[in-house]
Each structure stands twice: as structure tokens, then as C-alpha cells.
């Protein structure tokens, strides 16, 4: 199965991707995770990407397409994948279509998680992430059992550099301008499935699994 999770920053794409890959047994390909890990490793791509991510801007299409192309054409991606955070522009979607056509593959579904802007700002500014396993917490809605520490692996929780309120506002502006047009792009291709992303994590996962089962 080849699946895209679409939605604004903080809609729950990363959280859902983590849960879905276990159920669907396909790898997750997250361009955000790839960029963060490259930045931690101090590679040229990582440091170049961080100049954009820290300001809430999108990393240029060419860099991102180069980053995912290798991954989408690797053996690990032979039996499908879940894309989290890619594509984010029409140009990236077109590049994905070219890669798929070259490999005689197609997408199965594009799931759009709908969450209003006001809720996104509240969610992201209270978001804390485990730097080791990537688990995400919300300080009020689903806090860790022990303050500041991941329930799963005991690592200290951090706030992402791009989760500061002003950066979140900029990420939302960029989302509406550059990424939202993908909703129509995939609707026209009859691939779009819409989900109310304001429901609980488990309800959203169940709704996605349900939609995929109906295909």
C-alpha cells in the first residue's frame, strides 16, 4: 500500500504515521524526520535545511525531491510506504507522480487530516517530543507520567525549534499557500479521503483504518 498523510503542521500526521505503520506493516517515510536527523548529524543537507525549518519555511523542492527519491526507489520501499510530510507542494506531488510512473506504481490513498488553525496553535505550542523515540506529548491533553520525561524510553522531552508560537504561525501561513492546494490536486485524482483530525488519537486511527479497508 502507498499512502500519503496530508494536513497542516500539528494535525497529528506524525502520531498517526507511527501507529499506522505498525498496523499496516509498511515503512514510514517522513521528510521532517529525515531533515531533523540530517541536521543532528551536521550534514550539508541537514544544515542547509535547518536554515529554512527554523524559520517555518519550506525547504526548497529540489533538495526535498533529491532526499526522498533515493528512499522511494530503495528496496525498503518495494512493498509500499506511508508518506508523512511529503509532498508539501504541487511540484513535489508532480515529482512523486514521475517516480511512481517510472516504477509502474500508483498511490492507493491520500488521507487529509482536517484541524482548524486555532487548535493547531494550541496543540503545537504545548507539544513536547522525545528526542530518542520520537513520541509526541501534549502538556495538558496527554502529558507524560513524569514531567519532562518520555514514558516509553525515559529520555528527556524537548520542544522542537520550529514549535515556537511565531514560527507555528508562519508554518500555517506557508501551509495554506503552498500545501493546501494539494487537497484539490488529489481530489481531482479521486484519491482524497477527508478525516476530522480534532477527534482523539485512537478515533482518528480507527477512521483511517476504516477508510483504507473500504477501498
Positions annotated as catalytic residues are: 13, 88, 127, 160, 171
Nearer to ligand AMP (CB atom), residue 171 or residue 193:
171
Minimum distance of ligand AMP from residue 88's CB (angstroms): 4
Residues of this chain that interact with ligand AMP (CB under 6 A) are 9, 31-32, 35, 52-53, 57-59, 64, 85-86, 88, 92, 162, 171
Q: Closest residue to ligand AMP, Cβ-based?
A: 32
Which strands make up the sheet holding 2-6, listed edge to edge?
Answer: 28-30, 81-84, 2-6, 109-114, 192-196
Q: How far apart are CA 146 and CA 124, in angstroms?
A: 20
Minimum distance of ligand AMP from residue 146's CB (angstroms): 25
Minimum distance of ligand AMP from residue 55's CB (angstroms): 8
Nearer to ligand AMP (CB atom), residue 59 or residue 195:
59
Nearer to ligand AMP (CB atom), residue 58 or residue 130:
58
C-alpha distances (whole Å) from 49 to each of 36, 40, 67 are: 9, 11, 11
Bond prior to 64 in cis (omega within 30° of 0): no
Report whether 212 contacts 3 (CB < 8 A): yes
Assigned C-alpha cell, 141: 491533553
Amino acid at each position: 500500500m502507498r499512502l500519503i498523510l496530508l494536513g497542516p503542521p500539528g494535525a497529528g500526521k506524525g502520531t498517526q504515521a507511527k501507529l499506522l505503520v505498525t498496523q499496516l506493516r509498511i515503512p514510514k517515510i517522513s521528510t521532517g524526520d529525515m531533515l531533523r536527523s540530517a541536521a543532528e548529524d551536521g550534514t550539508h543537507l541537514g544544515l542547509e535545511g535547518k536554515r529554512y525549518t527554523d524559520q517555518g519555511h519550506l525547504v526548497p523542492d529540489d533538495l526535498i525531491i533529491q532526499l526522498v527519491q533515493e528512499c522511494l526507489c530503495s528496496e525498503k520501499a518495494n512493498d509500499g510506504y506511508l508518506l508523512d510530510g511529503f509532498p508539501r507542494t504541487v511540484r513535489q506531488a508532480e515529482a512523486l507522480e514521475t517516480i511512481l510512473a517510472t516504477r509502474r506504481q500508483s498511490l492507493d490513498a491520500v488521507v487529509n487530516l482536517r484541524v482548524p488553525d486555532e487548535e493547531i496553535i494550541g496543540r503545537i505550542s504545548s507539544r513536547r517530543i522525545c528526542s530518542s523515540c520520537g513520541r509526541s506529548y501534549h502538556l495538558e491533553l496527554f502529558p507524560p507520567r513524569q514531567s519532562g520525561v518520555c514514558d516509553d524510553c525515559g529520555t528527556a522531552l524537548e520542544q522542537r525549534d520550529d514549535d515556537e508560537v511565531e514560527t507555528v504561525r508562519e508554518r500555517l501561513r506557508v501551509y495554506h499557500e503552498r500545501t493546501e492546494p494539494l487537497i484539490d490536486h488529489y481530489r481531482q485524482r479521486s484519491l482524497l479521503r477527508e478525516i476530522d483530525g480534532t477527534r482523539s488519537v485512537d478515533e482518528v486511527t480507527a477512521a483511517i483504518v476504516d477508510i483504507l479497508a473500504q477501498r
